[in-house]
Amino acid sequence: MVSERTIYRYVDDLSLSGIPVYGEPGVGYRLLEGFELPPLQLTPIELEALIAGVSFTASLTGKKFAASAHSLLSKIEAALPKKSKMISSEDRVIRMPVRHRESTTYQVWEEIHSAIETGCWLNIGYNSLSEIVTSRAVFPLGLFYWGGRWTLGGWCKLRGDYRDFRLDRITRLNRCEDESALPEDVSLSAYIEFKNTKVD
């Protein structure tokens, strides 16, 4: 429930930002007829940063994320004024190699991302640094990219604690049929706090 005072404050904020909002007795608030939002204005460096971000996302995540990133860029391009042309691929000085489309790591990334969205346990085969393969039941909390590699952060049932798993060391991945109950305090924010404490 939003208070009346909050609505008045929002309307005032809109008016101060140059949007012509006015009140009409018995009708409510309206925009001045004929008003249109100004076209999206991006500086060349903002545009380059946007394209670089989309390129990173498309190259380093799963296929659905890559497709969504390209779709987003197309929508932004359509909203730009004609004079703000997108930088052609030949002129881009920041590049990401498109290297993974059939890579096992990125197929695993997509499956883990889906499991995080639906909140289900995963059963993984994991090859440790000492080359020992173990089977783990993991509740996935987040995907993290650092040091040139993707890592799954989650709650490990075997260890009863938060653990990290490099995606390129996952040898098998399935959704668990028997989903165990999580401890009440397990969450992504608690995992991040746990990691920050270890760093400190």
Give per-10-residue mean pLDDT for the chain (200 aa).
78 78 77 72 80 82 85 80 59 62 76 93 92 93 90 94 94 84 90 83
**What is the pTM for the complete model shown?**
0.69
- pLDDT for 92 equals 61
What percentage of the chain's residues is helix, strand, coil (to nearest 5)? 40, 25, 35
Query: What are the tokens at 195?
Result: 């990691």
User: Per residue in 164-191, pLDDT tens?
Assistant: 999 999 999 999 876 678 888 999 999 9
The domains of the chain are located at: 1-37, 44-91, 104-199
Length of the chain equals 200
User: What CATH architecture applies to the domain 104-199?
Assistant: Roll (2.30)
